[in-house]
Amino acid sequence: MKFVLVSGGVVSGVGKGIIASSCGLLLKTLGLKVTAIKIDPYINVDAGTMNPKEHGECFVLHDGGETDLDLGNYERYLGVDLARDNNITTGKVYQQVIENERKGKYLGRTVQVVPHVIDAIIDTINRVSKVPVDKSGEEPDVCIIELGGTVGDIESMPFVEALTQLRHRAGKNNFINIHVSYVPVVNGEQKTKPTQHAVKSVRSAGLIPDLIACRCEKPLEQGTINKVASSCQVEVNQVLAVRDMPTIYQVPLLLEEQGLLRELKETLKLDDVTLSPTRVTQGQEVWAKWQKIVPLGYAETVDIVLVGKYIELHDAYLSVIKALEHSAMRCGRKLNLIWVDSEHLEEKTQKEDPTKYHKAWHDVCVAKGILVPGGFGHRGTEGMVRAAQWAREQKTPFLGVCLGMQVAVIEAARNLCELKDATSEEFDANAEHRVIIFMPEGSKEKLGGTMRLGTRTTHFQPGSEFSKLRALYGEATTIEERHRHRYEVNPDYIEKLEQSGLIFIGKDDTGERMEVVEIKDHPYYVGVQYHPEYTSRVLDPSRPFLGFVAAAIGCLDQITNEILKDAGVVNGSTHF
């Protein structure tokens, strides 16, 4: 096993995740099997209970693991399916060590950070790095490890020590450390002192940077590169100038241009790894597709409005943004995402701040498509209901995800079924018409890990042959998508809702839990209980998002026909 560690200094949030993902992609283009691990030094066991406005999106993996959003980047770039163990946190490590102590596995010894916590970290990395993550079912060749935060933080010290020991145990030519730093510009001058101090700090902690990736807004001057190299004891070719790019999907192209792949091959002796001709060909095809689909600059845009409740931090909807970008690229357009706070669409805002109210409604009215994503709690949901009503009545393409599907059901119940007080049990537990209810197997006392999580099967129902979404799935009868929710559509109202025109075309294995809703006589009005954004890939956009964006552009029929052709479906029949 070969390891690529991506660490950071100076400040956090400078793009370690994108650099780690890009590095993995470049390795995959050689035909190597690549996996990834994210280390988060916080004490939380996972990201499931974190506020999205503080931490960003909680990304859900196929096994139901609630993890850091960077694992979403790994999956999108590498085309792999990771598991909950690919996200290591301080909470998980100490939970494991304490459980072992309680079971007497340390044979009465004093349990300490060194060696017990350190060994637990190393053992986890070694175990997880060998787990197959792609369709080959084979052990990966390379493991990308991203150390969250910045080296020097007190909370990350045990992980730094563990990674230092891991490098020694892995042996020569099996470990490389890419250290990401930031080069600020002060009064027009590129300053290297922060990077110098960061590298000095990381060396004193035990890690040895082999490559230094300098993040910067504009290309680094040659003099700056030379100064970083001489001050940080590396060669000039070991300094990567990672400037801001028009899109993050161009970062792999930039790093390849900077010579990253050459350095990785030389340091890790990748030419000595035995690869089958099939793997090499697959790697070359991935790189060719990436270079083809990554936008070099689309002239035309598509205006999509996102009506959400956490819009102060865009990372709260990171996978949604990426799914929209993937879909826009597939349709040959540039995404113009317009952010609307759902509370600004409500009557109280009209009274308190008419300017915000009218601005929000203007954005909704002129958009080519309206998206209502997931969320929790009552705040802002009345604005979402009103946005769903506008999309339905004005024939504007609409996609509701999780909570977005639920508000579409509430809107239909109120305005089509004339159940004026229809709502969700989450918003009003005593309401007469609770068209959305709490799932019986859930827990209202324990929040962490108690939702309906992970990959579940959805069955398209008889009579759903009209469905635009089903066609986008290649006329499949069943699909598998990832879930994260506590509430569901109340089965008692299904018949009445369907009589009003809201058709539940997809259900779970039991046939009692609603998964997909669609309106037949509408350009595109779809709600899904699952989160399709989690499985969207750069080279393979999520089907609900692709259909939504295509409908907003006006090319849904074209995209659908291309998908059906690729699936071997002609006029509803599959040809083998």
| Residues labelled catalytic | 402, 531, 533
- Side chain identity at residue 474, one-letter code: G
The two tokens of residue 1 are 């096993």
No. of helices (H) and no. of strands (E), the chain: 20, 25
Pull the structure tokens for residue 291. 């270079």
Nearest in space to 232 (alpha carbons), one of 268, 271, 200, 273? 200
User: What is the C-alpha to C-alpha distance for residues 559 and 567, in angstroms, rounded to an integer?
Assistant: 12
Beta-bridge partners for 186: 189
Write the CB contacts of 410 (distance below 8 Å, at least 6 apart in sequence): 385, 422, 423, 424, 435, 436
Segment holding 399, helix H or strand E: strand 398-401
Cis geometry, peptide bond prior to residue 397 (ω within 30 degrees of 0) = no
What is the SS3 assignment for 573? strand
Residue 531 in contact with residue 374, Cβ under 8 Å? yes
Please give, one letter per residue, the 3-state secondary structure of 8-41.
ECCCCCCCHHHHHHHHHHHHHCCCCCEEEEEEEC
Distances in Å between the Cα of 541 and the Cα atoms of 158, 329, 379, 538 are 39, 9, 31, 6
Tokens representing 410 are 């509430």
* Cα-based angle 511, 547, 71 (whole degrees, multiple of 5): 80
473, 526 Cβ separation under 8 angstroms: no
Query: What is residue 287's three-state secondary structure?
Result: helix
